[in-house]
Each structure stands twice: as structure tokens, then as C-alpha cells.
């Protein structure tokens, strides 16, 4: 790195050799970043790589999405990049952001900001700033308040972000109260970064999160949902989830999670159902094959939320939670709807919660082939996730019991595979389609066809595949019983 790359005087200490090498990672993209910087300089403006891009470069994980800030306003930015960028989008223009693409890199250039909330509204009030220092001060955390000026590669760190990055701590540039007052979503972002980076929040930040948790109510459900999704998909979601509960933030948008702390698990496997749930989430993460499976993680998180409403104590003093999977599915659907999750995602998570107890009892030898077919049919394309959720839910410390449950589920999966090979379980459906039903019964499209189709599907699940003659005979038998034919 050249002399021009030496740290700015505002830095608290110089970069270590390893950190210099990390910033040198910028050289991978500098032909584009530096060229863009020179275009801004020629136009009389500044350009700085900022935020997560600098943080990730220092962590050795710089990606292909780069964030910049500038003193140029959006119209000026558009003039500077026009004819140079391969594509341009203006969806963030009202917030001072112009997006563009060049050589496979996605770049976002944002005018210096002094963004704040009016302490009442749910949306930010965007006010353009006038300097890099002002822009960095308004950022959420010190680890995101560092900059590399282009094209000279001058490093700027006025708030000690480098120290905090080294210490793995999350701290705010201004006081936590000021920062969270401007944007309460930052409290949730603190928990999200703790989950993503495995960092600890500074005690002052933790205190402010606890005292100001109610301010999260000012934020739209969609913004809360997006941050929570990123948290749950972090490399260490358990740390983030504990922060949400310990600070009271979960109570503002996911009270079912906090409610689990009050319930004792009927098997006394853990201190309470809350601890059991966190273990199930952790287990589910370990079963992922590549990347975050949000649907699986969310189902693991919500699988026992029906227990508080179904808790009962028997005459023998044992605690039970009968049908908590049914209640839990209903609560999950309502909560995810309130958080504005798409219907298809909500439906999948809800189905997994409803099905997660179905396996228990299999080991007693009570399941017929019909029960296995219904298990597969009800799970549908969620079957691989249901396998993982069910295995994740086994958290007993009793090694013999854990081994027996694992063996039972191994046996169930083997049985599913055997029946599937014989019967095409992936497509469990009646042996006659709607057209064949109408032709055989001499009826037009309508409710009768639907009832007949449902009856034949039940026969398929109960007895397995029927050949054509047997399927037609069963349909005629049903039609006579229904009084349709003589």
C-alpha cells in the first residue's frame, strides 16, 4: 500500500499488518472503485468506501456489493456515472442513493446524510449532510463508521471502529440513547450483528436496548421482519435470540418466544421450554446442507409456542401440553402474518409446526403402511425439512433414549424409502383422475367429482395403489353407497 494509503490523523491507532493486508483486498476491486473515485474527483466531489464494505474488508470477507458515500447529490451522481455504469437504478433516490453496476460489481453511492427520526414517525427523515465526519457519526455502529477515501485509499476511523472490530464489540458512534432515538431499528440491528459476527454488545448498548425496547413499536412490521430474518439466518442465531429476550425487544414483536421462559418441559430435559427451543434451533442449523434455511429455523423456533396455552398438571404432578402442536401452528400463522411474511413462507412454517409431533409413537410399533403414507402425503415437499425438524427436537440428555429415538427415526426413513420405491409416494393421488370419474359415473364437473376424488385418495392412502379395475370397482361401490347409482 502506498504512502497515500497511510491512516488518517483522526485514527486512534494505525492498522496492523494483517489489517493493512485486509484493506489491500480492495485492490481486487480497486480498478473499478478507484476509477469511480477519479470520476468524482474530476467533477469536484469526494467519494469514500464506507460501512459494511470497509468492515468486511477488514474482516477479510469483502464481497461484490460495495457502498460509497459522497458530497454529490443524486442528480450530480447520475451525471458522473452516466455512460460509465453498465446499468443504473434509482429506487433509493429519495434516500439519496443511486445504484449501478460495473464489471460484475454492484455499487451504491449515497449522498452524505444526517438521517434522523422525528421520535414519532415510522419513516426516516432524510437530510443531506456536508462532510464525511458528519456522515460517519450518524451511522449505526462504530464498526460500520469507517471509510476508505478514493482513489488515494486514505483510511478514516474517527470513532474507534478498528479497536471495536478487534475487540469484537458492538458500540455506537454517538451515545446509544441518541443513536437508538434516531432509529430504534438499530437495537434490533445490534442483536442481528451479534448473531452474524459473533460479537458482544457493549454494556451501555445493552442497557439502552433494554430501556428503549418500547421504541421499536415506531418501526414498521416490514423493517422489523427483515432485520429479524437476517438475525435468525446469522451464523450464531442463539446469541441474537437471547439478546432479544434479555433486553425485552422480543416482547415487542415476538412475545411467544419470551413466553416460553415460563414453561417447564414435561420431560425435564432442560431448565425450561425456552432453553429447549434454543437447542432445537441450534440443532436445526447443524442439519443445514448449504446456506440458511429460514423455513426450517423458524419452524424450530416456533415449534413449541403452543405449550403455554396448553399446559396442564395431572394428578400425578406431571406436566403435559396436549395438542400444543395444533395451538402452536395457529399462533405461528398469526404471528408471521403480523410480521408481514409472505403467505407461502408462513404456510410452510405453520405446516412444520403442526406436523412436528407426528413421529412420536412410531417406535411403539403402532404405525401401519397407511400411517406412513399419510405422514408423507401430509408433509409433501416439506418432508426433508420435517425429517430435520423432528431430529432437531430430540434434545434429551439421556443417551439411551436419544439413541432409541434416532434409531426409530432411521427406521421410519428406511420404511418411507421402501414404500416409496414400491408406490411412488411423492405423488400420492387417487388411482382415477377427474375425467375418469366423470366418465364412469356419468356426471358433469362439480362437487360430486371432488367427493369421489377425495374418497379414492383415502383408499389410496389406506391400501396403497389399486389397479384400474379395482379402482373402478371401488368408485362404483362408493357411488352405490351414496345413492348415486343402483
Split the chain (486 residues) into runs of 10 and give each run's mean pLDDT: 40 57 64 94 96 88 90 96 95 92 94 69 70 93 94 90 94 95 95 96 98 95 97 97 98 95 53 87 94 97 90 71 86 97 97 88 66 81 92 82 79 79 54 72 78 74 70 74 73
Write down the pLDDT at residue 413: 82
Looking only at the bridges linking them, the beta strands covering 65-70 and 105-111 are: parallel
Cα torsion through 208, 209, 214, 217, rounded to 10: 120
- Strand-pairing partners, residue 89, are 99
- What's the pLDDT score for residue 220? 93
At 4 the pLDDT is: 39
Model pLDDT, residue 5? 43
Distance separating alpha carbons of residues 35 and 29, to the nearest angstrom: 10
Asked if 247 contacts 213 with a C-beta cutoff of 8 angstroms, the reply is yes
**In this structure, what are the phi and psi dihedrals at residue 382, rounded to the nearest 5 degrees?**
-85, 0
Beta-bridge partner residues of 109: 68, 98
Lookup result for grid cell 464481497: 63
Residue 392: Cβ-neighbour burial (10 angstroms; 0-12, 13-18, 19+): buried
Residue-level pLDDT at 7: 42
Q: How many residues does the chain have?
A: 486
Q: Is 153 helix (H, G, I), strand (E, B) or coil?
A: coil
Say how many C-beta atoms besides its own lie within 10 A of residue 366's C-beta. Answer: 8
Distance CA 270, CA 251 (A): 22
The SS3 assignment for 50 reads strand
Residue 192: the pLDDT is 97
Residue 25, Ramachandran bin (φ over 0: left; ψ between -120 and 50: alpha; else beta)? alpha
Q: Please answer whether residues 189 and 150 qualify as being in contact, where contact means their C-beta atoms are separated by less than 8 angstroms.
A: no
Alpha-carbon Rg for the chain, nearest whole angstrom, is 29
Amino acid at each position: 500500500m502506498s504512502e497515500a494509503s497511510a491512516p488518517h490523523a483522526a485514527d486512534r491507532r494505525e492498522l496492523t499488518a494483517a489489517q493493512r493486508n485486509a484493506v489491500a483486498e480492495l485492490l481486487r476491486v480497486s480498478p473499478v472503485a478507484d476509477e469511480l473515485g477519479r470520476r468524482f474527483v474530476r467533477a469536484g466531489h469526494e467519494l469514500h468506501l464506507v460501512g459494511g464494505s470497509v468492515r468486511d474488508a477488514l474482516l477479510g470477507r469483502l464481497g461484490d456489493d460495495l457502498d460509497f458515500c459522497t458530497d454529490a447529490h443524486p442528480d450530480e451522481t447520475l451525471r458522473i456515472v452516466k455512460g460509465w455504469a453498465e446499468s443504473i437504478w434509482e429506487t433509493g433516490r429519495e434516500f439519496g442513493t443511486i445504484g449501478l453496476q460495473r464489471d460484475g460489481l454492484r455499487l451504491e453511492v449515497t449522498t452524505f446524510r444526517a438521517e434522523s427520526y422525528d421520535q414519532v414517525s415510522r419513516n426516516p427523515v432524510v437530510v443531506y449532510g456536508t462532510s464525511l465526519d458528519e456522515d460517519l457519526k450518524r451511522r449505526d455502529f462504530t464498526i460500520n463508521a469507517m471509510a476508505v477515501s478514493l482513489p488515494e485509499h486514505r483510511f478514516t476511523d474517527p470513532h474507534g471502529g478498528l479497536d471495536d472490530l478487534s475487540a469484537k464489540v458492538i458500540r455506537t458512534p454517538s451515545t446509544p440513547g441518541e443513536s437508538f432515538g434516531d432509529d430504534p431499528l438499530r437495537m434490533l440491528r445490534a442483536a442481528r450483528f451479534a448473531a452474524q459476527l459473533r460479537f458482544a454488545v457493549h454494556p451501555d448498548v445493552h442497557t439502552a436496548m433494554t430501556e428503549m425496547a418500547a421504541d421499536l413499536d415506531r418501526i414498521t412490521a416490514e423493517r422489523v421482519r427483515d432485520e429479524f430474518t437476517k438475525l435468525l439466518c446469522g451464523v450464531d442465531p442463539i446469541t441474537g435470540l437471547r439478546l432479544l429476550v434479555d433486553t425485552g425487544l422480543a416482547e415487542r414483536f415476538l412475545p411467544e418466544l419470551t413466553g416460553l421462559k415460563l414453561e417447564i418441559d414435561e420431560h425435564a430435559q432442560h431448565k425450561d421450554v425456552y432453553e429447549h427451543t434454543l437447542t432445537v434451533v441450534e440443532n436445526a442449523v447443524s442439519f443445514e446442507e448449504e446456506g440458511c434455511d429460514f423455513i426450517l429455523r423458524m419452524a424450530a423456533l416456533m415449534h413449541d409456542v403452543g405449550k403455554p396455552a396448553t399446559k396442564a398438571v395431572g394428578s400425578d404432578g406431571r406436566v403435559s401440553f396436549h395438542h400444543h402442536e395444533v395451538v402452536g401452528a395457529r399462533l405461528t400463522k398469526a404471528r408471521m402474518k403480523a410480521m408481514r411474511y409472505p403467505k407461502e413462507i408462513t404456510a410452510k412454517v405453520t405446516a412444520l409446526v403442526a406436523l412436528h409431533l407426528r413421529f412420536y409413537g412410531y417406535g411403539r410399533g403402532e404405525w401401519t403402511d397407511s400411517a406412513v403414507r399419510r405422514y408423507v402425503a401430509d408433509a409433501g415437499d416439506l418432508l426433508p425439512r420435517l425429517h430435520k425438524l423432528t431430529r432437531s427436537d430430540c434434545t434429551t440428555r439421556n443417551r439411551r433414549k436419544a439413541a432409541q429415538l434416532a434409531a426409530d427415526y432411521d427406521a421410519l426413513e428406511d420404511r418411507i424409502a421402501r414404500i416409496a420405491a414400491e408406490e411412488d409416494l411423492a405423488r400420492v393421488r387417487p388411482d382415477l383422475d377427474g375425467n375418469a370419474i366423470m366418465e364412469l359415473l356419468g356426471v358433469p364437473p362439480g362437487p360430486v367429482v371432488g367427493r369421489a376424488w377425495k374418497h379414492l385418495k383415502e383408499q389410496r392412502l389406506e391400501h396403497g395403489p389399486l389397479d384400474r379395475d379395482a379402482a373402478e370397482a371401488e368408485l362404483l361401490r362408493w357411488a352405490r353407497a351414496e345413492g348415486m347409482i343402483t
